[in-house]
Amino acid sequence: MERRNFIKKTVTGGAATLLAPTILPSNVFGQTIANRKVNVGQIGCGRIARDHDMPGVMQYDNARMIAVCDVDSNRAKDAKVLVQKYYAKKTGSDKTVDVKVYEDYKDLLMNPEIDAVVISTPDHWHSQPAIEAALAGKDVYLQKPTSLTLEEGRILVDIIKKKGTILQVGTQQRAMPQFRIAAELVRNGRIGKIHTVKIGLPGDPAGPVAPKMPIPTNLNYDMWLGSTPEIPYTEIGVHPQKGYGRPGWLRQEQFGSGMITGWGQHHYDSAAWGMDTELTGPISVESIAEFPKSGLWNVHGDFMAKAEYANGITMYTSGGYTNGIKYIGDDGWIFVSRGSYTASASDPVSKDKSSKALNASNPSILKSVIGPNEIHLKKIDEQHGDWLNSIESRKDPISDVEKGHRACSICLITHISMKLGRKLHWNPEKEIFVNDAEANNMLKRSQRFPYGVNSIKGL
């Protein structure tokens, strides 16, 4: 899509349509996959899987989802119905696919018919199944954040590279034209030398005290907890037993770090695209944050974070800024956001604060044409389609594992600075804090046997 057309449609309210997935014919990906569908297994069948990842894959004719897996048997059954109804409507036949259902993803990975997997599990169940999928010879689409800790994230990167696995991270903002346009304009000096980036990212509210509840018979709760400590079950700490609303695990530090990883990886990944820092990280981070003093939900609320980079850029992140990314240079600024797009119906977006997809200090900046000899960033139509394309070509997708890990690393070290409440100096090459044993101890977590990356055989 040309820049002028995109800007025109954004101004007239057409941005939401532009950001919807595009159905492409199978022959755009080459003859190999056009003649043999990629058989895909879905691991994790909650809201982001149903609303985003499963339809994101099934829309393509060169892929076929043949298996689903969830530790909640009700969700796994629902997913089977969703897939079979989708293909029945798409093909006009209810015999297109007989979807296999699994409770344990390890059993799914043993199925030789499956070529690739989509992992849409809670954050604490990202790195381990991705590593084991690579070891089993499967390509991977992995929801962000890439890892729960820096340690397991680096292990994931090393295994993916060693095995030659195609891994796409679900940072789909790279497929949205306004983020690429903004990054290209910044990288090509349209706002002069960039010195500051401001990222708007909300926190989460505190939650109620939640009593212990009986574990539902349809949920393998021990496996759901995985490598994290054993704690009593309560529904709002896991996911709804009816419906697919926003799950409570997102607001518990045991399973993630809150919005700093929940949406932070999206924005930090996009910011790095424009800052030309995709394969490195900041050299220092410092944060202040509010944390709940009571209740089940204990992730950060309001916060302010500052990160300094070796190239002289300072990046600030706070819920006080409009949700999105603002690049500030010597000659002006560019702001970019998702606009009215949401990945899931329950995304906590204040649309009045996120309605402008692309803006600048001077409208002429956005009309600037990138010349043939200038920097042109990779352009894709949709994240899942790019992944399938990469499976066929065996070339890196737009959000490869190293870039995903680096963006996730910013989230994780920022969270550590929130917890410690002081400035931390970071070595992005060695991925350790400088002369700070306390902070370095927080780059990993203990893992409850028999779960966790440390329990994987073959590492």
CA distance 245 to 239: 8
* Tokens (6 digits) for 351: 């649309």
pLDDT digits (tens, 9 = 90+) for 112-149: 999 999 999 999 999 999 999 999 999 999 999 999 99
Q: Which residue, chain included where needed, has tokens 């003859």?
A: 31
Confidence (pLDDT) at 13: 40
Residue-wise pLDDT for 432-450, tens only, equals: 999 999 999 999 999 999 9
Q: Tell me the helices (H) and strands (E) count for the chain, helix number first.
A: 17, 15
Whether residue 163 has pLDDT greater than 50: yes
pLDDT 10s digits, 227-251:
999 999 999 999 999 999 999 999 9
pLDDT beyond 60 at 192? yes
What Rg, from alpha-carbon coordinates, does the chain have? 21
Residue 352, pLDDT score: 47
| Predicted local distance difference test score (pLDDT) of residue 288 | 97
> Average pLDDT for residues 83-92, to the nearest whole number?
95
Whether residue 188 contacts residue 285, with contact meaning beta carbons closer than 8 Å, is answered with: no
The tokens for 342 are 């949401």
Domains and CATH numbers, the chain: 12-173 (3.40.50.720)
Taking residues 294-318, what's their average pLDDT?
97
Report the pLDDT value the prediction gives residue 94, as an integer from 0 to 100.
85
DSSP code of residue 214: P
Per-residue pLDDT, 8: 46
Q: Are strands 194-200 and 116-119 parallel, antiparallel or unpaired?
A: unpaired
pTM for the model stands at 0.90
Q: What share of the chain is helix, strand, coil (3-state, %, to 5)?
A: 40, 15, 45
| Residue 21: pLDDT over 90 | no
